[in-house]
Amino acid sequence: MDAQVQPMLTASALERARAIQPILDAAGPEMDRRHEATPEVVEALFDQDLMRLLLPKSLGGQEIHLVDFCKTTEAVAWADASIGWFVNQSNVCVATSAAAMPHDAAAAIFDGPRTGLAWGAKYGGSRAIRVEGGYRLTGTWSYGSGMRHTTWIGAHSLVQNPDGTPHIRYGKQDDRSFLFLKEKAKVVDDWAVLGLRGTGSDTYSVDDLFIPDAHAPARDALEERREKGPLYVIISNLLYATGFCGVTLGLARRMLETYTDLARGKHSRAAINPMARNNAVQLEIGTLEARLSAARAFVHEAAAAAYDAAAAGTLGLDLRMRLRLATTHAMREATEVSIACYRGAGTTAILNGAPFERRFRDAMSASQHLQGMTAHIEMVGRHIIGTENLVQWV
């Protein structure tokens, strides 16, 4: 297939994300009820070409700067966290797969602005058997965020030989992502959760499904990386971390803005002064602004440094660790800001018709993701100290 030509985009990714904020805002309660994006929202994402942000330019994608990507997921999540989550998840899935696949195979799948890809978490119960020309894949995967709106889905698995022994490649057991049409899988609607309901992160399974070699990229194996741009030097987990960090920052920003608006006009029955004249409220809002802005600045600084080093071919472990620390720290700070805003709003926050309740549930659910685990900060601490360390997720 001939190389695709990137469409002319007159607005930046951030500007296009802001353009659909009113649509996402209006649809938020309905998406929460339906456990999926509405058709109007899906069309808006495609119309604004927000699903090819990280796709290589050689495939018609935009291949935007990592900091711009973080800002874009933040802007989307400001309006609706579930859609911000979907935008991040799908863009990283698409980018890391396409960068490691043969060009023609990637071009056939990621063709046009309606591109999208979803996959779930890796589980030890899956099995991929190496056979002539490809693999036979069996397994069940959960957390397939956004898969109700994609034609293609994927799954991760370690690879075995036909006799059950590990299939070794590049000195370790082969670890691959397998792409296939969603219609080939059995999908179970089991997304009954506290928050991020609009992601529709269902469970799916396949049984002895043949996957050709061209559709089985090793997304984090540099030996198979076809694309050489800075985005594709940074491993998938750090791309995910940066985008999900943007989601939590966008959520916290919206919560803080809403809390501030409330403070301008509310007078608690238990307080002498209105909230706007309450010294404790004034101190809290100022402190929360400082915490959120500082965490955001740290992420942007670390992401820019990692991206620049990747472009120069000098991205080392120190900068990877710094990006890991910045993203994990920011996710945790954003969560604390969201909690403080919810508590500060008082009984107003519990009302379904108020702008706090759904976003608080989203913030709590986002905070549980592995990208925000304190274990990452501990790992970075060991790296800084120089003590024995298990390096992972970087």
Please list the pLDDT of the chain residue by residue as tens digits (394 residues). Answer: 334 444 457 899 999 999 999 999 999 999 999 999 999 999 999 999 999 999 999 999 999 999 999 999 999 999 999 999 999 999 999 999 999 999 999 999 999 899 899 999 887 689 999 999 999 999 999 999 999 999 999 999 999 999 999 999 999 999 999 999 999 999 999 999 999 999 999 999 999 999 999 999 999 998 999 999 999 999 999 999 999 999 999 999 999 999 999 999 876 666 677 899 999 999 999 999 999 999 999 999 999 999 999 999 999 999 999 999 999 999 999 999 999 999 999 999 999 988 999 999 999 999 999 999 999 999 999 999 999 999 999 9
Provide the angle, in degrees to the nearest 10, between the axes of the packed helices 317-344 and 374-385.
140
CATH class of this structure's domain 13-116: mainly alpha
How many residues are recorded in the chain?
394
Rounded Cα distance between 69 and 80, Å, is 16
> pLDDT at position 267, please?
67
Q: Domain 233-385 in CATH: superfamily?
A: Butyryl-CoA Dehydrogenase, subunit A, domain 3 (1.20.140.10)
> pLDDT at position 122, please?
81
Bridge partners of residue 186, in order along the sequence: 205
- The CA–CA distances, whole Å, from 125 to 103, 128, 133, 159 equal 31, 10, 23, 12
The burial of 19, by beta-carbon neighbours within 10 Å (0-12 exposed, 13-18 middle, 19 or more buried), is given as middle
> pLDDT at position 4, please?
42
Rounded Cα distance between 191 and 111, Å, is 29
Q: Domain map of the chain by residue range? A: 13-116, 118-220, 233-385
Tell me which residue of 218, 227, 230, 195 sits closest to 69, measured CA to CA.
230
> For the chain, what is the radius of gyration of the CA atoms?
22
Rounded Cα distance between 192 and 301, Å, is 37
Rounded Cα distance between 315 and 18, Å, is 32
Q: Is this structure's pTM higher than 0.75?
A: yes
Q: Which residues of 368-389 are buried (b: 16+ CB within 10 A; e: fewer)?
A: ebebbbeebeebbeebeeeeee
> pLDDT at position 9, please?
78
Rounded Cα distance between 77 and 67, Å, is 15
> pLDDT at position 272, please?
73
> Could you tell me how far CA 370 lies from the centroid of its own chain?
12
148's tokens: 């109700």
> pLDDT at position 3, please?
41
362's tokens: 């989203």
| Residues near 362 by beta carbon (within 8 Å), at least 6 away in sequence | 81, 82, 195, 196, 251
> pLDDT at position 1, please?
33
Q: Do 217 and 187 contact (CB within 8 A), yes or no?
A: no
Q: CB neighbours (10 Å) of residue 266? A: 17
Q: Does domain 118-220 have CATH number 3.40.1280.10?
A: no
Backbone angles phi, psi at 209, to 5 degrees: -85, 130
Q: Do 152 and 180 contact (CB within 8 A), yes or no?
A: yes
- The CA–CA distances, whole Å, from 303 to 245, 250, 308 equal 11, 17, 9
Q: Do 258 and 341 contact (CB within 8 A), yes or no?
A: yes
The bridge status of strand 172-173 relative to strand 168-169 is antiparallel
Count the alpha carbons within 13 Å of 377 in the hemisphere toward its beta carbon. Answer: 11
Rounded Cα distance between 300 and 306, Å, is 10
- The helix/strand count (H/E) of the chain reads as 11, 9
Tell me which residue of 75, 61, 104 sits closest to 15, measured CA to CA.
75
